[in-house]
Amino acid sequence: MFRGRKDAYERAQTRPFAAHALDLQALQPTLAGQIPLTLSADRASDILAALDLAKEYKLRLVVVGGAEAWKVAPELAAAKVPVIVQPSRNLPGSFDTLGARLDNAALLAAAGVPVVIAWLDDSHNLRNVTQEAGIAVANGLPWATALRAITLEPALAYGQGATHGSVAVGKVANLVVWSGDPLELSSRPTDVLVRGRAIPMVSRQTLLRDRYRSLDKFGGGKSTKSTDARPRPDTGAAATTAAPRKVTPPPTSRYRSLDPMTSHHRSPHQLEHGPIFSWHRDHNGFIFTSGHAAVDVETLGITLGDLVAETHATLTNLRRTLEKAGSSLEKVLKITAFITDMGQFAAFNKVYAKFFPGPQIPARTCIEVARLPFNFKVEIEAIAHL
C-alpha cells in the first residue's frame, strides 16, 4: 500500500501506518526482490509460515537459526531458501529449539538446502566460524560442503556470488592461507589478504603471546630454544619455551579435601606438607582419580617442562596411584585429559600410546584449556576398576 500510494501518504491523504515512513521505504528493495529478507526462525512451523510469506510476496528469503529446519528440509529445498546455522547450537534453549540437533547442517545439505555456517552470537567471536564448520563435518556434513558453507554460500545467499566467495579470476581477492586443514582447531592462518592487500599478522593475542613467551623477566628461569616448538605464524621465527624449573607449592591448596572418611585416600607426605590432596576414591569396585600432573608424589615438588616431558611424568604418576589402589593402567575404563596446546596433540598421543598400547585401550576425552594450576601443560584423570 505504501509503495502504491506514496504520494498520497506524503500529502497526508492516507490513514496512519503502523510503521514509520522511513522503515516502509527501507523495505521497498526487499519487496522488489532486490535484496533478501533475513528472518530469524527456529521452530519448524515458523519456518513454514515464513516460506508461505515469501511465496505470497515473492520475497528472496534467508532463514537464520533454523534449529528445526531439518524437519522441513524438503520444503526449504523446493523453495531454494538458504538456511544460516550455527552447528554448536545443538541444545534446546527454548520451546522454539526443542528439535535442535548436531547434524542439522548435514541433514539440510543432504536434502539439497543451501547451507550457510555462521557464528550467530557476539560478533567478536566470528573467528570461531571455522570451528563451527568442523563441528558440522564431525556430524556428517561433507568437508567440501562445509568449506563452501563459510565461503561461497554466504555470498550467494546475499547476492554477492559474482564477486565474492570463491577464488576465481575477476573476483575480490579476500584470501586466507592456513597452516593446515582450515576446519581443524589446531590450524592457524599464516597469511591474510583483504582485497589483494596483505594484512599484518599482529594482534593483541600475538603481542601478549610474545610478551609472556619467555619468563626470564618474571624470574622464571632462562629461556632455551625448543626443537619441537612450532614456528611463529606471523614471522616464521622459531618459538621458545621456558626451561624446566621447580616451583614450590603454596602453603594451602584449593584442592583441600572436605571428606574425613577413611575411603578418601591421602598420602602421608601430603599431610606433612600442609596441602591435602585426594589422589583417588573407590566406590563399588571402581577407582576415580583426581587430576594428575607432573607432581612428584614423594616430595610434592612440581616440575614444569615441555608437554612431552609433562605427559610422561603425569602418566607415570597416574600409574603409581592406580597400582597403590590395587588397580592398573590395564584396568582403566575412561581417561579425561586436559592440555594447554592442541597444536602438540600428536606429540601427546605419541607418549600416551606407550602407556596404553592396547588392544583394550580406554575411552578418552581430550580438551584444550587456556591454563592449568601451577602452569601445568597436562592434567589427566581416570576411572578404572579394581
Cβ(293)–Cβ(379) below 8 Å: yes
Is-contact 85 65, C-beta < 8 A? yes
Checking DSSP bridges between strand 197-198 and strand 189-194, what pairing results, if any? antiparallel
Residue identified by cell 533478501 is 36
Q: Is 278 a catalytic residue?
A: no
- Per the CB < 8 A criterion, the answer to whether 2 and 9 are in contact is yes
Distance CA(108)–CA(358), nearest Å, equals 39
Amino acid at 260: P
Query: How remote is the C-alpha of 138 from its chain's centroid?
Result: 12
Q: Among residues 64, 366, 372, 383, which one is catalytic?
A: 366
Give the β-pairing of 223-225 and 240-242: antiparallel
Q: What is the largest CA-CA distance in the chain?
A: 91
Taking residue 135's Cβ as centre, other Cβ atoms within 10 Å add up to 21
CA distance 73 to 76: 5
The answer to whether the CB of 114 falls within 8 A of the CB of 156 is yes
Half-sphere exposure of 304 (CA within 13 A, CB side): 19
Task: Find the helix or strand (DSSP H, E) in which 157 lies.
Answer: helix 152-157
Q: What is the DSSP string of 344-360?
A: GHHHHHHHHHHH--SSS
Angle (CA) 341-345-351 rounded to 5° is: 120
Q: Which is it for strands 61-65 and 37-41: parallel, antiparallel or unpaired?
A: parallel
For residue 308, give the C-alpha cell.
Answer: 612431552
The catalytic residue positions are 366
